[in-house]
Structure 1
């Protein structure tokens, strides 16, 4: 490892996965969603995805472009989704301060998480959100009904498997009568140790129940470790469950600015890849132990293996809302919060726009300017079929 001193050489994730396709797909057992993600990423914006034609509405000039794969794990296909989601969120957030909280799990639980991803990720969401809501409702701390926005990440900077929740919690909530907004103090409204204890208690209660009902697959190497609820509880309660209270956001605009570059991340972006030569990949990562950017070199096979760990189960939502911020409370409790704060709630600018109009707003009007006559607009034509595999 060394301190970063190189710029991106043009290598992309899709190039690395394509180079490893033969050996990796034949030598590893991938589930359906992993296999699909692998093929989507290497086929993105190639003839495999088919193409569409843009035609100038003035001079008739045409241009053919290959389609995107639209897979949520592809680093090329998140920008437009990200911009639209952020704009909708801007209208949804309360105009108050926000706390940034990170919930992690002890290392010994990671193999169990990977073997039972859908259940364990859901459990991580439920335990962390329940901890925040219970702590906020406790009269000894704040005594309000609060809520949160939670985002699941499964990776560390080195692409290691590290499931954790990033959570945004408004600094306050509705009083017990549900009629008035009560703001929190500048510091987080509950001590970190107290929040950690609640989180661990909720998590372990649900986990032990699932193990007793044989709902989980136990990794072979951990058969003895998870043999009985008592030994599992002893090990779990002997460890400190790390919760980090990070910087506080002063208002909704800061939150949106932060989330705009954070929520729709994939495990690694193309900009972090420094170079790849077909055998080795060198990528940039941040070492939080000394807070410095460094580079790491891995074999293409190991790099691919690490990346594929972070493909989420099919249909699993990695962004969720709880408490007063839940969708079910959008027209009730959230309206009360806006009214109590004496602020107007706006509608998303993109609501009602066509895909073409959204693209024009996000990418700019000149993005569809005809390169030939410099006057007309390049409009979508008839898509061509996808290329079939031989």
Structure 2
């Protein structure tokens, strides 16, 4: 167990809700004997080396997990790319909404997706822009560099659309932007404020009318970047943002008995990299703000990329563009993925280097404390002969 996992372990004793406690518990047990393990043995008769492969938690908030899932997801999206420009838009919310969102995360995260996607689709359907449905992939992020609460959605938008019969290229894109930022901001604001006032929300201690009045006087900015340079840049973006979490282990500088110290980029100071020290309790509180509601989908698709009927639409579009049909999605096994990406054969015996490691026993979880103690004792005894694997 690393130092950060020990910090997560402390969360179970704090006043978080039961779901957040369960998430912290999983993160604290990731890649340890408490998560379960495979016991492997070399099949070479002269070696017979034994090793243990500790299971990962697989939680989407874990700083140690998700890399291979991200690679598979990116490959699946690569097969859907089209020979058209792709644009990057970011929709944020005024900070005055933060207390309200914290009380209504699921409902207002969904409203953020709905308002942003409807704004893009409405602009795309205007005859002077596309007159068709563009393809949109949206990713929810809830954090700033200091782990503060900053909900926003990153959007990848195609520079063309499908009207149900033919592919339509974007018209008159000005200064390399698909739609005017000012127009996007005004429509996004109008849609969000109209819908939020009709919702049944938890508003204990908050005045929704006052909040709406405050943000209605502000200009809502939509950040529109220039188009990506090509498919490779789109894939690179997806790799960085699709499965990104609030903080990765690479940003952690040190963990002391009292503080967690991590790097952040100070945008107000020329993107200077600095280190911020947070008390362990404060670090956990900030991390918990970014635990998504249970089963909430943080990556969503709209327009011709929406999931229902997507494959049929993509085949029609590719036919219009005289492209080869969409290829079948292939699920690459973990062992092959590790070999391709890291050159590591996870089943080659590191002792004799020619034998193959075979799974001879699997413990998936511990049903009781006594079972946990017994299994850990077995591991400790076995470690006298073998080193941990994985």
What is the TM-score of this pair, normalised by structure 2?
0.87
Indicate whether 1:287 and 2:262 are aligned.
Answer: no
The residue aligned with 1:272 is: 251
**Matching of residue 375 in structure 1 with residue 354 in structure 2:** yes
Change (3 A) 1:321 1:381: farther
How far, CA to CA, are the matches of 2:95 and 2:296 in structure 1? 23
CA apart distance, 1:389: 3.6
Residue 4 (structure 2) aligned to one of 13, 31, 36: 13
Q: For residue 119 of structure 1, what is the aligned residue in structure 2?
A: 107
Structure 2 unmatched runs, 5+: 371-390
* Structure 1: gaps (5+ residues): 1-9
Alignment of 1:33-112 (within 5 A): 33-59=19-45, 60-112=48-100
Question: Any conservation in 2 of the 1:80–1:362 contact (CA below 8 Å)?
Answer: no
> Is the deviation greater in 150-159 or in 283-292?
283-292
Looking at structure 1, the residues matched to 30 and 339 of structure 2 have their Cα atoms a distance apart, in angstroms, of 22
Task: Tell me which residue corresponds to 1:199.
Answer: 188
SS for the counterpart of 1:37 is helix
The number of aligned residues is: 364
Report what 2:380 is aligned to.
none
Cross-structure match for 1:302 = 282
Name the counterpart of 1:133: 121
Instruction: Work out whether 1:342 is the aligned partner of 2:330.
Output: no
Are the counterparts in 1 of residues 87 and 178 from structure 2 also a CA contact under 8 Å? no
* Aligned residues: CA RMSD: 2.2
In the TM superposition, what whole-angstrom CA distance separates every residue of 1:152-190 from its partner, at most 9, and x where no partner exists? 00110000011110110011112x453123245362221
Distance 1:197 1:283, change over 3 A: same
Residue in 2 that maps onto 1:6: none
Q: State the partner residue of 1:182.
A: 169
Q: Is the 8 A contact 1:276 1:282 kept in 2?
A: yes
State the distance in 1 between where 2:87 and 2:122 align.
Answer: 16
Q: Rate the CA distance shift 1:347–1:332 in 2: closer, same or farther, 3 A.
A: closer
- What's the counterpart of residue 291 of structure 2? 311
Deviation at 1:346, TM superposition (A): 4.4
1:156 aligned to 141, 144, 147, which one?
A: 144
CA contact 2:68–2:334 (8 Å) conserved in 1: no
- Distance, in Å, in 2 between the alignment partners of 1:299 and 1:11 is 17
Give how far 1:200 is off: 1.0
1:196–1:241 Cα contact (<8 Å) kept: yes
The SS at the match of 1:368 is coil
Change in CA separation of 1:306 and 1:56 when aligned onto 2, cut-off 3 Å: same
2:197 aligned to which of 202, 208, 222: 208
Q: SS state of the match for residue 327, structure 1?
A: coil
Which structure exhibits the higher relative contact order, with contacts defined as CA atoms closer than 8 Å and separated by 6 or more residues? 1
| Superposition deviation, residue 254 in structure 1 | 1.4
Name the structure 2 match of 1:145. 133
Native 8 Å contact 2:139 2:241 kept in 1 = no
The alpha-carbon deviation at position 139 of structure 1 amounts to: 1.6
Contact 1:61–1:372 under 8 Å retained in 2: yes
Q: Tell me, in whole angstroms, the C-alpha distance in 2 between the residues paired with 1:11 and 1:67.
A: 15
Q: Relative to 1, partners in 2 of residues 1:294 and 1:219: Cα closer, same or farther, differing over 3 Å?
A: farther
Shift of residue 43, structure 1, vs aligned partner: 0.8
TM-score scaled to structure 1, two decimals?
Answer: 0.87
